[in-house]
Amino acid sequence: MIHMITGMLEIRLMVREARSLKDKRRVIKSLRDRIKNKFNVSIAEVGALDSHQQAVIGVAAVGNDQQFVNSVLSSVINHMSANPHAELVDYEMEFYS
């Protein structure tokens, strides 16, 4: 039997400079594309879709070792917290095996 660990991360962001949904989506799309390419994870905007300044991002990573999956998702959090265009407000991480 295959031992598979799935890590899921929900991230809440504020895009304070956004004055419209178009502004917010531009920032979120850029962030999503960079995270996906750099960390090889699945990522999507999953909440606060009609808010101009709030965003909820879902990130998923799969591996055979929880420590590895935790490391990947922690790196995503660190990368997002350093982004000058979107402020990291909160996050939740869960693992399933």
How does pLDDT run across 30-86, given as a tens digit for each residue? 999 999 999 999 999 998 888 889 999 999 999 998 999 999 999 999 999 898 889
Characterize 16-27 residue by residue with b for buried, 16 or more Cβ atoms within 10 angstroms of its Cβ, and e for exposed: eebeeeeebbeb
**1, pLDDT greater than 70:** no
Across the beta sheet with 87-96, the strand order is 42-47, 54-63, 5-14, 87-96
97 pLDDT band, cuts 50/70/90, is confident
Taking the C-alpha atoms of residue 51 and residue 76, their distance in angstroms, rounded to an integer, is 23
Residue 75's alpha-carbon distances to 25, 59, 61, 81, 88, in angstroms, are 23, 12, 12, 10, 13
Q: Residue 49 has what pLDDT?
A: 80
Q: Which residue has the tokens 């709030």?
A: 54
Name the nearest CA neighbour of 41 among 85, 73, 64: 73
Taking the C-alpha atoms of residue 76 and residue 17, their distance in angstroms, rounded to an integer, is 22
List, in order of start, the domains of the chain with CATH numbers: 5-96 (3.30.70.1120)
